[in-house]
Amino acid sequence: MLQQLHIQNYAIIDEIEIHFSANLNIITGETGAGKSILMGALGLILGERADTAVLMNQEKKCFIEGFFAVQGKHAVKDFLLANELDAGDELVIRREINASGKSRAFINDTPATLQQLKALASLLVDLHQQFDTLELGDSDFQREVLDALAANHDALKAYAAVFSNWQSAKKELGHLQQQKSNFTKELDYFQFLYDELNDAGLKENELEDLDAELKMLSNAEGIKTAFSKVYFELKESEQPLAQTVKQLANQLNSYAGYHQDIPLLVQRLQSSYIELQDIADEVDRINESVNYDEQRIEQINEKLATGYKLLKKHGVQTTAELLAIQADLEQKLQAVLNIDDAIAGKEKEVAGLLKQADGLAENISLSRKAQCPPLEEQVNDLLKQVGMPNARLKIQLKDKPLAGDGKDEIEFLFDANKSNRFEPIRKVASGGELSRLMLCIKSLVAQSIDLPTLIFDEIDTGISGEAAKQVGIIMKSLAVNRQVISITHQPQIAGKADAHFFVYKEIKGDAVKTNIRLLNEDERITAIARMLSGERPTAAALENAREMLMN
């Protein structure tokens, strides 16, 4: 709710501060006193555009600040968190306009855009002014009204989950179908690439191993020569190295008893002799296995040529990468074989979800349709009470493709003059008619929808007497559980106020300025009496005003 409004240097307002009641707030005053100026100032913190013409004093900035209580307003808290703004139980919106025309907006002292201000304002305030395009003509609001009366919250939640699953499944089906289309186009090419790699018959690290083997075979003669020389020097020369080491060990061993370190040295020489013997045997064994094989070299060259060609073709460096490509191609080919089964399964899933969603949407539609006749009857009865005896509301539901809100295209139609020509509300209703129609509808759904602060600017245009009284009664009822602010010229409506504010002009210095004050009970009686009989109210008017307040 709007707790407080602070306005400074706006139009003919020097500075005023208004503390609103949580229930029905009525604003009255003489024509031209500045009531509409208040609405203009309020519009600025709700995101309306501004210009320097609103500045009373061109040397000072215009300052408008609204304080809102937002306990329990989950949509407001969600908006603040989503926009990284402070989210407490109190919300402050401020708008500043300097002399150059530059405008700045703040939400909880954090700079904000006009777009953010408008989005947030729609959650806080529902402002009804003459000739506005009201949300009553909006299909989302019309649907919310029917759903609120039909208590469709849980049904819509269940439907939304199924609808979302259906949309996701359809998207997945489309992806599978696109995959199949792409696979079909590329199948022959994938098969060719796979066959080429498969025919090559590569094994893990084969090209690297073959390359090493080729280098060995190409240098077989040199390798054999080196091995033979090593073996000869170790075991077959006139003085073999291994035998020499053995002899040295024996010579040193004969003196082992004369020095404590000699046994260890002997042991090491004996170990070296054994190691040299092993080396000689290993050299001989390897030497036997190294042979120049021209046929094997030719085979390796052929395999390497094939391998190098594939490496270059696929832009990779190793056998492992080629084998990975082969495995990927195999998966793609297998996917082509499996995708028809996947598509058939997904089509079945989509059809099942569609049937389920359609069934839930049909139940929601039936509950909406069931609410149309009683809502039409109740609204039409209220329209008679508020001075629109010839006006009628008709609700039209048409089928539409399944959407997030169901399968109904909802349109509120209006006939102001019993012409039997029902047209969409936004096309035919005047500003005053729209405001009273909105009041009637919102009074019926007030317990079912979390309505923001409702502000009515001269909703009473064109009515008086009993119709005005009924408007006041409806407002009073509506304001029991939510805040209502109304500018009115009707004493019958003013008499229902929980807080009655009076707007007036006063002369300060050489300037005429607008001010506002909260009336006490005696001042209210006088103000309402003046609304009944003029500037100098009669005793009868005063008594009538007193009776209005008592009732």
Residue 182 C-beta-side C-alpha neighbours within 13 Å: 8
β partners of residue 97: 62, 103
- pTM higher than 0.85 for the full model? no
Residue count of the chain: 551
Q: Nearest Cα to 546, choosing from 524, 531, 513, 530?
A: 524
Maximum Cα–Cα distance across the chain: 152
Residues 519/495, Cβ–Cβ less than 8 Å: no
Per-residue pLDDT in tens (0 to 9) along the chain, 551 residues: 899 999 998 888 888 999 999 999 999 988 777 787 888 888 888 888 877 677 777 778 888 999 999 888 888 998 999 998 888 888 999 999 887 778 899 999 999 998 999 889 888 887 765 444 345 656 788 898 899 899 999 999 999 999 999 999 999 999 998 888 877 777 788 888 889 899 888 899 988 888 887 887 878 888 888 888 998 888 888 888 888 888 889 988 888 888 888 899 989 999 998 999 899 888 888 888 777 777 888 888 888 888 888 898 989 889 899 999 999 988 888 877 788 888 999 999 999 999 999 999 999 999 999 999 999 999 999 999 888 889 999 999 999 999 999 999 999 999 988 888 898 887 776 666 777 888 888 888 877 777 788 888 877 777 778 888 898 999 998 898 889 999 988 999 999 999 999 999 888 777 888 899 999 999 999 999 999 888 888 899 999 999 988 87
Distance CA 403, CA 420 (A): 31
Residue 524 C-beta-side C-alpha neighbours within 13 Å: 23
| DSSP three-state, residue 234 | helix
Distance CA 67, CA 62 (A): 17
Place of tokens 């506002």: 516
Residue 212 tokens, joined:
């090493």
Residues 7/64, Cβ–Cβ less than 8 Å: yes
Helix crossing, 431-445 with 465-478: angle to 10°?
A: 40
Give the DSSP per-residue string, 432-469.
Answer: HHHHHHHHHHHHHHTTTS---EEEEESTTTT--HHHHH
Residue 39 C-beta-side C-alpha neighbours within 13 Å: 21
| DSSP three-state, residue 254 | coil
Count helices and strands in the chain by DSSP H and E runs: 17, 15
Distance CA 140, CA 186 (A): 47
| DSSP three-state, residue 235 | helix
Element containing residue 5 per DSSP (H, E): strand 2-10
Judged by phi (left if over 0) then psi (alpha if -120 to 50, else beta), residue 420 lies in left
Q: Nearest Cα to 395, choosing from 143, 60, 20?
A: 143
Amino acid, single-letter form, for residue 73: K
Instruction: Give the chain's end-to-end CA distance (angstroms, integer).
Output: 26
Q: Which letter does DSSP use for residue 72 in this model?
A: T
